[in-house]
Structure 1
Amino acid sequence: MDNISSYFISLLIPFIMIIIGFVHKIRAPKKINHFFGYRTFRSMSSQKAWDHAQKLLSYYSIRFGFCNSVISLLLLYLLPYSLDEITLINLGVSMIFLFIPIFFIENKLKRSFQ
Protein backbone atom coordinates (compact mmCIF):
# COMPACT_ATOMS: atom_id res chain seq x y z
CA MET A 1 0.00 0.00 0.00
CA ASP A 2 1.41 3.40 -0.87
CA ASN A 3 1.46 6.55 1.29
CA ILE A 4 -1.55 8.21 -0.33
CA SER A 5 -3.75 5.15 0.19
CA SER A 6 -2.64 4.87 3.81
CA TYR A 7 -3.46 8.51 4.50
CA PHE A 8 -6.80 8.24 2.72
CA ILE A 9 -7.87 5.11 4.58
CA SER A 10 -6.57 6.37 7.94
CA LEU A 11 -8.37 9.72 7.63
CA LEU A 12 -11.57 8.55 5.96
CA ILE A 13 -13.56 7.79 9.13
CA PRO A 14 -12.41 10.94 11.00
CA PHE A 15 -13.36 13.16 8.06
CA ILE A 16 -16.73 11.44 7.69
CA MET A 17 -17.35 12.05 11.40
CA ILE A 18 -16.52 15.74 10.98
CA ILE A 19 -18.69 16.11 7.88
CA ILE A 20 -21.62 14.33 9.53
CA GLY A 21 -21.22 16.58 12.57
CA PHE A 22 -21.35 19.76 10.47
CA VAL A 23 -24.22 18.51 8.30
CA HIS A 24 -26.10 17.49 11.41
CA LYS A 25 -25.43 20.88 12.97
CA ILE A 26 -26.96 22.63 9.97
CA ARG A 27 -29.77 20.19 9.14
CA ALA A 28 -30.58 18.17 12.23
CA PRO A 29 -33.98 16.47 12.12
CA LYS A 30 -36.57 18.62 13.84
CA LYS A 31 -39.04 15.88 14.73
CA ILE A 32 -38.55 12.42 16.19
CA ASN A 33 -38.24 9.88 13.38
CA HIS A 34 -36.87 6.40 12.72
CA PHE A 35 -34.73 7.29 9.67
CA PHE A 36 -32.32 10.14 10.38
CA GLY A 37 -30.60 11.47 13.48
CA TYR A 38 -29.39 10.10 16.78
CA ARG A 39 -32.01 7.41 17.42
CA THR A 40 -31.98 5.59 20.74
CA PHE A 41 -34.66 4.81 23.30
CA ARG A 42 -33.59 7.77 25.43
CA SER A 43 -33.30 10.24 22.58
CA MET A 44 -36.72 9.32 21.24
CA SER A 45 -38.46 9.48 24.63
CA SER A 46 -39.50 13.13 24.20
CA GLN A 47 -39.06 16.03 21.80
CA LYS A 48 -36.80 17.83 24.30
CA ALA A 49 -34.56 14.78 24.63
CA TRP A 50 -34.53 14.39 20.83
CA ASP A 51 -33.47 18.01 20.26
CA HIS A 52 -30.78 17.79 22.93
CA ALA A 53 -29.42 14.50 21.54
CA GLN A 54 -29.15 15.97 18.02
CA LYS A 55 -27.11 18.92 19.30
CA LEU A 56 -24.86 16.60 21.30
CA LEU A 57 -24.33 14.33 18.28
CA SER A 58 -23.13 17.27 16.21
CA TYR A 59 -20.89 18.56 19.00
CA TYR A 60 -19.24 15.21 19.75
CA SER A 61 -18.92 14.09 16.12
CA ILE A 62 -16.96 17.20 15.19
CA ARG A 63 -14.70 17.11 18.23
CA PHE A 64 -14.01 13.40 18.23
CA GLY A 65 -13.51 13.48 14.45
CA PHE A 66 -10.80 16.12 14.84
CA CYS A 67 -9.17 14.21 17.72
CA ASN A 68 -9.29 11.02 15.69
CA SER A 69 -7.65 12.68 12.68
CA VAL A 70 -4.81 14.09 14.81
CA ILE A 71 -4.21 10.71 16.46
CA SER A 72 -4.30 8.96 13.07
CA LEU A 73 -1.70 11.33 11.64
CA LEU A 74 0.51 10.98 14.71
CA LEU A 75 0.34 7.20 14.46
CA LEU A 76 1.26 7.35 10.77
CA TYR A 77 4.37 9.38 11.57
CA LEU A 78 5.43 7.94 14.92
CA LEU A 79 4.87 4.19 14.86
CA PRO A 80 7.79 2.13 13.59
CA TYR A 81 5.56 -0.40 11.78
CA SER A 82 4.74 -0.85 8.11
CA LEU A 83 2.09 1.38 6.55
CA ASP A 84 -0.28 -1.57 6.27
CA GLU A 85 -0.05 -2.30 9.98
CA ILE A 86 -0.43 1.37 10.95
CA THR A 87 -3.45 1.69 8.67
CA LEU A 88 -5.10 -1.28 10.39
CA ILE A 89 -4.29 0.23 13.80
CA ASN A 90 -5.82 3.53 12.68
CA LEU A 91 -8.96 1.77 11.50
CA GLY A 92 -9.30 0.12 14.91
CA VAL A 93 -8.78 3.44 16.68
CA SER A 94 -11.34 5.07 14.37
CA MET A 95 -13.90 2.38 15.15
CA ILE A 96 -13.46 3.14 18.85
CA PHE A 97 -13.90 6.86 18.17
CA LEU A 98 -17.15 6.12 16.34
CA PHE A 99 -18.67 4.60 19.47
CA ILE A 100 -17.30 6.93 22.16
CA PRO A 101 -19.87 9.69 21.47
CA ILE A 102 -22.70 7.26 22.16
CA PHE A 103 -21.56 6.83 25.77
CA PHE A 104 -21.25 10.57 26.32
CA ILE A 105 -24.62 11.35 24.72
CA GLU A 106 -26.43 8.58 26.58
CA ASN A 107 -24.94 9.66 29.92
CA LYS A 108 -26.00 13.27 29.34
CA LEU A 109 -29.48 12.20 28.29
CA LYS A 110 -29.75 9.93 31.34
CA ARG A 111 -28.82 12.78 33.67
CA SER A 112 -31.01 15.36 31.97
CA PHE A 113 -34.11 13.32 31.02
CA GLN A 114 -34.71 10.55 33.54
Structure 2
Amino acid sequence: MRALFVLNFIIPFVMICLGFFLRKYPVSDMSSQNGYNTPTSRKSQAHWDYAQKIAPDIFLSLGKILLIIEIIVNIILLLVQASVDNSIIVGACVGMVFLFLAFYQTESRIKEKFQDKTIGLSLLKLYGNSLFDHSFVFDIEKRVLI
Protein backbone atom coordinates (compact mmCIF):
# COMPACT_ATOMS: atom_id res chain seq x y z
CA MET A 1 0.00 0.00 0.00
CA ARG A 2 2.90 2.36 0.71
CA ALA A 3 3.92 1.93 -2.93
CA LEU A 4 1.18 4.42 -3.78
CA PHE A 5 3.51 7.16 -2.52
CA VAL A 6 5.04 6.96 -5.99
CA LEU A 7 1.96 8.81 -7.26
CA ASN A 8 3.25 11.94 -5.53
CA PHE A 9 6.17 12.02 -7.97
CA ILE A 10 4.07 12.19 -11.14
CA ILE A 11 3.78 16.00 -11.25
CA PRO A 12 7.49 16.71 -10.66
CA PHE A 13 8.40 14.05 -13.22
CA VAL A 14 6.05 15.58 -15.81
CA MET A 15 7.35 19.10 -15.11
CA ILE A 16 10.97 18.01 -15.50
CA CYS A 17 10.22 16.06 -18.68
CA LEU A 18 8.23 18.96 -20.11
CA GLY A 19 11.04 21.40 -19.39
CA PHE A 20 13.59 19.03 -20.91
CA PHE A 21 11.60 18.46 -24.10
CA LEU A 22 10.72 22.14 -24.52
CA ARG A 23 14.40 22.97 -24.22
CA LYS A 24 15.60 20.13 -26.45
CA TYR A 25 12.96 20.66 -29.16
CA PRO A 26 11.94 24.33 -29.14
CA VAL A 27 8.83 25.17 -31.15
CA SER A 28 9.08 28.16 -33.46
CA ASP A 29 5.77 27.78 -35.28
CA MET A 30 2.81 29.25 -33.40
CA SER A 31 0.27 27.36 -35.48
CA SER A 32 1.67 23.95 -34.54
CA GLN A 33 -0.26 23.87 -31.22
CA ASN A 34 2.90 22.55 -29.54
CA GLY A 35 5.18 24.16 -27.00
CA TYR A 36 4.19 26.58 -24.27
CA ASN A 37 0.83 27.52 -25.75
CA THR A 38 -1.30 30.01 -23.81
CA PRO A 39 -3.29 33.07 -24.91
CA THR A 40 -0.52 35.35 -23.65
CA SER A 41 2.16 33.48 -25.56
CA ARG A 42 0.09 33.61 -28.77
CA LYS A 43 -0.32 37.40 -28.82
CA SER A 44 2.52 37.83 -31.29
CA GLN A 45 5.54 36.02 -32.64
CA ALA A 46 7.75 37.93 -30.19
CA HIS A 47 5.56 36.78 -27.29
CA TRP A 48 5.71 33.22 -28.61
CA ASP A 49 9.48 33.20 -29.03
CA TYR A 50 10.06 34.62 -25.57
CA ALA A 51 7.66 32.13 -23.98
CA GLN A 52 9.41 29.22 -25.69
CA LYS A 53 12.71 30.57 -24.40
CA ILE A 54 11.79 30.98 -20.71
CA ALA A 55 9.21 28.23 -20.09
CA PRO A 56 11.65 25.28 -20.18
CA ASP A 57 13.91 26.80 -17.55
CA ILE A 58 11.00 27.65 -15.26
CA PHE A 59 9.44 24.19 -15.53
CA LEU A 60 12.79 22.45 -15.06
CA SER A 61 13.80 24.46 -12.01
CA LEU A 62 10.42 24.27 -10.30
CA GLY A 63 10.12 20.58 -11.18
CA LYS A 64 13.46 19.85 -9.51
CA ILE A 65 12.53 21.87 -6.43
CA LEU A 66 9.18 20.09 -6.29
CA LEU A 67 10.88 16.70 -6.54
CA ILE A 68 13.05 17.50 -3.53
CA ILE A 69 10.07 18.83 -1.57
CA GLU A 70 7.99 15.76 -2.43
CA ILE A 71 10.78 13.47 -1.24
CA ILE A 72 11.01 15.34 2.06
CA VAL A 73 7.23 15.45 2.51
CA ASN A 74 6.89 11.74 1.76
CA ILE A 75 9.63 10.85 4.25
CA ILE A 76 7.96 12.95 6.93
CA LEU A 77 4.57 11.42 6.17
CA LEU A 78 6.06 7.94 6.37
CA LEU A 79 7.71 8.73 9.70
CA VAL A 80 4.51 10.04 11.25
CA GLN A 81 2.66 7.07 9.76
CA ALA A 82 0.06 9.16 7.97
CA SER A 83 -2.54 7.26 6.01
CA VAL A 84 -1.77 6.64 2.37
CA ASP A 85 -4.89 8.52 1.28
CA ASN A 86 -3.89 11.64 3.21
CA SER A 87 -0.32 11.37 1.97
CA ILE A 88 -1.42 11.24 -1.65
CA ILE A 89 -3.76 14.20 -1.15
CA VAL A 90 -0.98 16.26 0.45
CA GLY A 91 1.45 15.32 -2.32
CA ALA A 92 -1.06 16.14 -5.04
CA CYS A 93 -1.85 19.51 -3.48
CA VAL A 94 1.82 20.44 -3.20
CA GLY A 95 2.34 19.33 -6.80
CA MET A 96 -0.59 21.37 -8.08
CA VAL A 97 0.66 24.48 -6.28
CA PHE A 98 4.03 24.16 -8.02
CA LEU A 99 2.41 23.45 -11.37
CA PHE A 100 0.26 26.58 -11.11
CA LEU A 101 3.31 28.51 -9.91
CA ALA A 102 5.22 27.49 -13.04
CA PHE A 103 2.45 28.79 -15.29
CA TYR A 104 2.06 31.93 -13.20
CA GLN A 105 5.78 32.72 -13.33
CA THR A 106 5.95 32.17 -17.06
CA GLU A 107 2.88 34.30 -17.75
CA SER A 108 4.13 37.04 -15.41
CA ARG A 109 7.51 37.20 -17.11
CA ILE A 110 5.91 37.39 -20.55
CA LYS A 111 3.58 40.19 -19.46
CA GLU A 112 6.41 41.99 -17.68
CA LYS A 113 8.63 41.92 -20.75
CA PHE A 114 5.93 43.12 -23.13
CA GLN A 115 4.10 45.61 -20.93
CA ASP A 116 3.16 48.86 -22.61
CA LYS A 117 6.05 51.23 -22.03
CA THR A 118 4.71 53.87 -24.39
CA ILE A 119 2.15 55.40 -22.03
CA GLY A 120 4.39 58.36 -21.26
CA LEU A 121 5.02 58.99 -24.95
CA SER A 122 1.31 58.72 -25.70
CA LEU A 123 0.50 61.33 -23.06
CA LEU A 124 3.22 63.59 -24.40
CA LYS A 125 1.84 63.31 -27.93
CA LEU A 126 -1.70 63.88 -26.69
CA TYR A 127 -1.03 66.89 -24.46
CA GLY A 128 2.23 68.19 -25.90
CA ASN A 129 4.29 70.53 -23.77
CA SER A 130 1.30 71.35 -21.57
CA LEU A 131 2.26 68.30 -19.48
CA PHE A 132 5.09 70.36 -18.08
CA ASP A 133 2.93 73.40 -17.41
CA HIS A 134 1.94 73.74 -13.74
CA SER A 135 -1.52 75.01 -14.59
CA PHE A 136 -2.17 71.79 -16.52
CA VAL A 137 -1.27 69.68 -13.48
CA PHE A 138 -3.46 71.87 -11.27
CA ASP A 139 -6.33 71.50 -13.74
CA ILE A 140 -5.97 67.70 -13.67
CA GLU A 141 -5.89 67.70 -9.85
CA LYS A 142 -8.97 69.90 -9.73
CA ARG A 143 -10.86 67.55 -12.07
CA VAL A 144 -9.90 64.53 -9.99
CA LEU A 145 -11.03 66.17 -6.76
CA ILE A 146 -14.40 67.21 -8.17
TM over 0.5: yes
CA deviation vs aligned residue, 1:41-89 (integer Å, no higher than 9, x gap): 2211221211111122101111111111111111111132223311210
Aligned runs of 1:30-45 on 2, under 5 Å?
30-33=28-31, 35-45=33-43
**Structure 1 partner of 2:98:** 97
In 1, Cα distance between equivalents of 2:12 and 2:44: 30
SS in 1 for 2:33: coil
2-structure distance, mates of 1:33, 1:94: 30
Q: Deviations over 1:70-112 (max 9, x none)?
A: 1111111113222331121001111111111121111111121
1:11 is aligned to 9
Equivalent runs, 1:20-99 vs 2, <5 Å: 20-33=18-31, 35-79=33-77, 80=80, 81-99=82-100
Which structure is higher in RCO with an 8 Å CA cutoff and minimum separation 6? Answer: 1
d(CA) in 2 for partners of 1:44 and 1:37? 11
Q: Secondary structure at the match of 1:33?
A: helix
Counterparts of 1:62 and 1:109 in 2: how far apart (Å)? 17
Identity percentage of aligned residues: 29
Aligned length: 112
State the TM-score, normalized to the length of structure 1.
Answer: 0.88
Q: Distance in 1 between matches of 2:113 and 2:32?
A: 22
Q: CA RMSD in A?
A: 1.4
Larger of the two Rg values belongs to structure: 2
Q: Which amino acid is the alignment partner of residue 28 of structure 2?
A: K
Q: Once the 2 structures are TM-superposed, how far is the Cα of residue 33 of structure 1 from its aligned partner?
A: 2.4
Q: Which runs of 5+ in 1 are unaligned?
A: none
Structure 2: any 5+ residue segments left out of the alignment?
A: 116-146
